[in-house]
Amino acid sequence: DTEVTQTPKHLVMGMTNKKSLKCEQHMGHRAMYWYKQKAKKPPELMFVYSYEKLSINESVPSRFSPECPNSSLLNLHLHALQPEDSALYLCASSQVRGAGSFNNSPLHFGNGTRLTVT
Amino acid sequence: DAKTTQPNSMESNEEEPVHLPCNHSTISGTDYIHWYRQLPSQGPEYVIHGLTSNVNNRMASLAIAEDRKSSTLILHRATLRDAAVYYCILRDVDYGGSQGNLIFGKGTKLSVKP
C-alpha cells in the first residue's frame, strides 16, 4: 500500500474519449508530480505542481491537461489521445522545504494508472 | 542535469550482500545522490540519499567516493523482495525557489536468486 492513491488502476479509452486520472495524498505535501512510464523504460517527468500552481511543464502535448484543485488532489485530464500515449501514469508528492526548495525531499509515488488508448 | 551510469542488470543470491554501483563523473558540488527502486507493477520507492558522507537507513547503505564521482548502494542481505530496478539519480540543491527535478536514468535491474 502507498500513501499516494491513484484511480483508476486501469483505463482503456478510445482516441475520441475524454477521461481523467486522479491522484490523492493526505501527507500534507505541497508538491505534486505527474510522470509517464512506457514499458521497460524509466519514468519521464511531465508536470510539477508547487502550492497548487503549475511550476514545470516538460513540453507535454496539450492533449494532457493537469489540474490541482487543492493541496491533496491532482488530476490529469486526457483528450484526443493517441495509441502511443498508452503507458503507466505515475503520480507523486513531496514536501516543500525552506525558500520554496524541496530538492531533497523524497518523492512518494502511487502505483500508477495503466492507460491503454485504442 | 548531471548524468549517471549504472550497469543494466545484476544478479544476487538471497541473503547475500549486494553492491549496486553508480558512476557520476560530472557531478557538481550541489548535487545530492538519490536512490530509488521500482518493484514490478509498483511505483518507484525512495531508498536513500546523501551528499558526501556515507549514509545508512533501515533499507540500505550508501557509500560515496571521496571525489563523489561514484557511489554504491549496499543492500546488506538481499531478499527476494529486493528484486527491482534500482535508479541512481542526481538532484541539484537550489534554494532559489525552483525545483530539483527527479530525472530517472535507465537504472539497474537486480535479480535475486533463492
pLDDT, tens digit, 9 for 90 and up, residues A32-53: 999 999 999 999 999 999 899 9
pLDDT at A3: 93
Considering only CB atoms, A42 lies closest to which of B42, B98, B107, namely B107
CB atoms A101 and B93 under 8 Å: yes
pLDDT at B94: 63
CA dihedral A52, A56, A57, A58 (to 10 degrees): -150
pLDDT at B28: 87
Considering only CB atoms, B44 lies closest to which of A43, A44, A101, namely A43
Starting at the edge strand that comes first in sequence, how are the strands of the sheet with B9-13 ordered? B9-13, B108-113, B84-92, B31-38, B45-50
d(CA B15, CA B5): 26
d(CA A100, CA A84): 35
Mutate to test the interface with B, among A21, A103, A108 (most CBs of B within 10 A): A103
pLDDT at A96: 79
Mutate to test the interface with A, among B92, B93, B94, B99 (most CBs of A within 10 A): B99
pLDDT classification of A5: cutoffs 50, 70, 90? very high
Q: Which residues contact A87 (CB under 8 A, 6 or more apart)?
A: A36, A37, A38, A39, A115
| Residue A2 reports pLDDT greater than 80 | no
pLDDT at B75: 97
pLDDT at A55: 86
Nearest-Cα residue of chain A relative to residue B48: A106
A54 touches chain B (CB under 8 A): no
A66 touches chain B (CB under 8 A): no
Shortest Cα distance, chain B CAs vs residue A49, angstroms: 10
What cell numbers appear for A115 in the block?
492507460
Q: What is the residue whose three cell numbers read 535508479?
A: B87
Q: Which residues from chain B sit within 8 angstroms of residue A109, using beta carbons?
A: 43-45
A69 touches chain B (CB under 8 A): no
Q: What is the pLDDT of residues A25-37, one digit of tens each?
A: 999 999 999 999 9
More confident residue, B70 or A97: B70
Burial B83-111 (b: 16+ CB within 10 A, else e): bbbbbbbbbbeeeeeebbebbbbbbbbbe
| Residue A99 reports pLDDT greater than 80 | no
Averaged in consecutive runs of 10 residues, what is the pLDDT profile of chain B (114 residues)? 88 97 92 94 95 94 97 97 96 60 91 96
Q: Which residues from chain A sit within 8 angstroms of residue B99, using beta carbons?
A: 31, 48, 50, 55-56, 101-103
pLDDT at A105: 84
pLDDT at B30: 83
pLDDT at B92: 79
